[in-house]
Structure 1
Amino acid sequence: MQRRSELDTLRGMLLILMTLTHLPTRLSAYSSQVFGFVSAAEGFVFLSGLVAGMVYWRAIDWRGEDWMRSRLRARAFELYRWHLLLLLFLFTVGAAIGWYGGRPMLRNLLSFYFDQPAAALWAAPLLLYQPPLLDILPTYIVQLLLTPFWLMQARRHGWGRVLLFSSLVWVFAQCGGRALLLDGFNHLTGDSVPSLPLPALGFFDDLAWQLLWVFGLWTGHLAVSGRLAAQLPRRGLRLAAAGTALVYLAWYHRLLDPLLPMDLLRLQHPVLFDKVLLGPMRLANFAVLAISTGLALPALSRLLRRTGGAVLGLLGRASLRVFAAHLFLALLAFGLVDADEHPLDGLTEGLVLATTFGVMLWVALHQQRRRF
């Protein structure tokens, strides 16, 4: 299937925002939730599901179900190899720098590993223990492995049932489903296996975040079937969604505090904004933002093509390797933060940013040369 340059450009932009968020610089305070109550991670998961839906829905007709399953398993295994390399790097180089160098960010990142190394070493390869920063790839792997199930259920029973079931799984997550399943696992394994604490499972609850992936698959199916335009809301509703997205943005930046104090609502109802569970407020914010992006995508694509969109598209086309490279560099950058946790000075920050983005661009260029 021919690549969609606008999707590659959007993925490249989201990769840059995630990189800025993960690096220990002062820019992370501005890049983490630049769109409101949502982060680049929501957009990246949805876009990845969308591309998977576009590619593999059509592949079932062209190559058959078995080919689709084998390709998705191969893709998931490729990601898994990168995840194992990152774990090996973190558990050796990162742990040595954190422990012997007295680097608090790395020590906090590896707190479970330092407390229960034996449990961490068997649970991490099974994707049960997911250290911070190394938790989005396991989510991606799980969703890729589940994609054949979602696609075949949609072909047999229609997308309505699939979207309903996915939504019910998300509701289960909001009701503490992951904690319930973990308690059952810890009870079944008993004393033979050390109990895993809930934070060790990672920052992304797969039971909740699968909803974004499934809606991405559905959107991708609509796109390749030529039915996406018919499913989009009318222009008036899309403009209303864009206005609502602006309200969310203003509210997040406390411009609406005189009317509705954000901090008070987040203290009273934290689950509404919970990123781990993809809380209802975050989900609603993402929905109106996604509709708004669809409305502005043609103009946005033209703007990006004139203002560095080629570089963003280059990064987006090599998103897996670029993402893995930025994680290696972010972990090393954590080792620069001293024991007193002083912010990096301006020169060091500049070197960290220049090195990280330089390496990411080199990886993307190398990947492009390999394609040709």
Structure 2
Amino acid sequence: MAGTRLGGGVAAGGRDHRLDMFRGIALVMIFINHVPGTIYENLTSRNFGFSDAAEAFVFMSGMAAGLAYSNRFRTGSIWLAMTRVWARARQLYFVHLSITMLSLAVFAAAALWFDRAQLLNQNNLASLFSRPLSAMIGIPLLTHQLGYLNILPLYTVLLLATPLLLVIGLRRPWLLLGASILLWAAAGQFRLNFPNFPTPGGWFFNPFSWQLLFVIGLLAGAAMKQGERFFALSRPLFWAALGFLVLALLWGKIAAVGAAGGSVLRLLQQAGVPFYFTAFDKTFLTLPRLLHALALFYVLGSLTFLSTLAANAMAAPLRLLGRQGLAVFAFGTVLSMALQALKSGTTPDPLVDGVLLGSGIAAMLGLAWVLSRTAEMRAAARA
């Protein structure tokens, strides 16, 4: 794997506290964003640029896969390495089905016992009543996904492809990256996507598009496992990335800048530039979103003081959330659905919403602590 040694980072094979901390931050932001209608969603990353916590989640999932599985593909049995990755994909699949059923139970209870039947027409639930047999086929096939429950199907598909990605990427990393970029472009150009059923259209998180972010994370994680960087530190690139982040911030916060930027994009569209270069479409991970996410990751990855910050005791709660990412995400998703039902038909209230969201985050932390403590006790018992 080509790259340079990590400066101020983590040793080869060591645990990078930054990844845990930023995964924890992403989980908190996803939880807040999944309870719409509070003032606190205005504080999450999506309000300060073109991308949001979903891009961070997918990129860091790729990094985590590179860190966890790459060495097994470098040495040892390829088959055993593949089965380990696919076991994780199987776990994600059943977690997705579980949180889907629990979310359905939440909305059904709200409609049955709390007179909030309007919830049954939201979050892609309507097909369960208009075409129940088809919807019950679509849910296990991952072709019918409830609103806010779209990202684990994407992650599952990407993990199923991870063995092939690592076999190629560990030998020809730039070939893999080039092929990934071409697939991203083809998905945008020809509107390639996985199909929905029974509703029309495609997946909200298009695997053909979002694989690019996962692949970049996977290559970065595999390099980190060797104590290297896949993308070398570059002062000009750092300042270019930082400049793009500032532009995106001004674009969203200053009307004149946003209007000027929008005019430029419209001119490009009229000149025939494809939409995936000029739009802000989330399904196809269009270029403005992709570049913003990559710029953010590059800047954060270049700031060596973040390694010290991530290892600090003040960041321990975020690291704890990040280490138990799947369980925390699943629990937080179901909890956010319950809060959606609870808040349905009510007006936003900073105090009440703050208590609800704060209690939810505290519950997520409690779960992460219990799981971590249990794992430590098991490890001590085996020693």
TM-score by length of 2: 0.84
The answer to whether the 8 Å contact 1:153/1:162 transfers is yes
Map of 1:290 onto structure 2: 297
The answer to whether the 8 Å contact 2:127/2:199 transfers is no
Shift in Å at residue 54 of structure 1?
2.1
Map of 1:335 onto structure 2: 341
- Whether 1:162 aligns to 2:168 is no
The answer to whether the 8 Å contact 2:107/2:119 transfers is no
The answer to whether the 8 Å contact 2:242/2:295 transfers is yes
Shift in Å at residue 218 of structure 1?
1.1
Structure 2 distance, partners of 1:363, 1:99, is 29
Structure 1 distance, partners of 2:57, 2:267, is 28
Map of 2:7 onto structure 1: none
List per-residue Cα deviations over 1:132-160 (Å, max 9, x = no partner): 1111011111111110011112345x122
Map of 1:148 onto structure 2: 163
Map of 1:189 onto structure 2: none
Cα separation, partners in 2 of 1:227 and 1:196, compared to 1, 3 Å: same
- Amino acid in structure 1 at the alignment position of 2:64: V
Aligned residues: 354
Which stretch of the first structure deviates more once superposed, 267-276 or 202-211?
267-276
Which stretch of the first structure deviates more once superposed, 88-97 or 213-222?
88-97
- Counterpart of 2:188 (choices 157, 165, 174) is 174
SS of residue matched to 1:3: coil
Structure 1 distance, partners of 2:23, 2:55, is 11
Cα separation, partners in 2 of 1:117 and 1:53, compared to 1, 3 Å: same
- Amino acid in structure 2 at the alignment position of 1:51: A
> Which blocks of at least 5 consecutive residues in structure 1 are unaligned?
187-193
Map of 1:120 onto structure 2: 135
- Amino acid in structure 1 at the alignment position of 2:29: L
Shift in Å at residue 85 of structure 1?
0.9
- Whether 1:370 aligns to 2:374 is yes
Shift in Å at residue 10 of structure 1?
1.0
Shift in Å at residue 306 of structure 1?
4.7
Structure 2 distance, partners of 1:361, 1:53, is 26
RMSD value, Cα: 2.6
- Whether 1:204 aligns to 2:205 is yes
Cα separation, partners in 2 of 1:114 and 1:268, compared to 1, 3 Å: farther
Which stretch of the first structure deviates more once superposed, 316-325 or 234-243?
234-243
TM-score by length of 1: 0.86
The answer to whether the 8 Å contact 1:103/1:337 transfers is no
- Amino acid in structure 1 at the alignment position of 2:213: L
Shift in Å at residue 351 of structure 1?
3.0
Which stretch of the first structure deviates more once superposed, 282-291 or 324-333?
282-291
Identity %: 32
- Amino acid in structure 1 at the alignment position of 2:242: A
Shift in Å at residue 330 of structure 1?
0.6
Structure 1 distance, partners of 2:120, 2:25, is 27
Write out aligned runs for 1:41-120 (5 A). 41-98=54-111, 101-105=115-119, 107-109=121-123, 110-120=125-135
Shift in Å at residue 265 of structure 1?
4.6
Cα separation, partners in 2 of 1:148 and 1:345, compared to 1, 3 Å: same
Cα separation, partners in 2 of 1:226 and 1:32, compared to 1, 3 Å: closer
Shift in Å at residue 99 of structure 1?
6.6
- Whether 1:275 aligns to 2:276 is no
Map of 2:144 onto structure 1: 129
List per-residue Cα deviations over 1:236-281 (Å, max 9, x = no partner): 3212221221122221223652771548958996752111110111
Structure 2 distance, partners of 1:237, 1:135, is 33
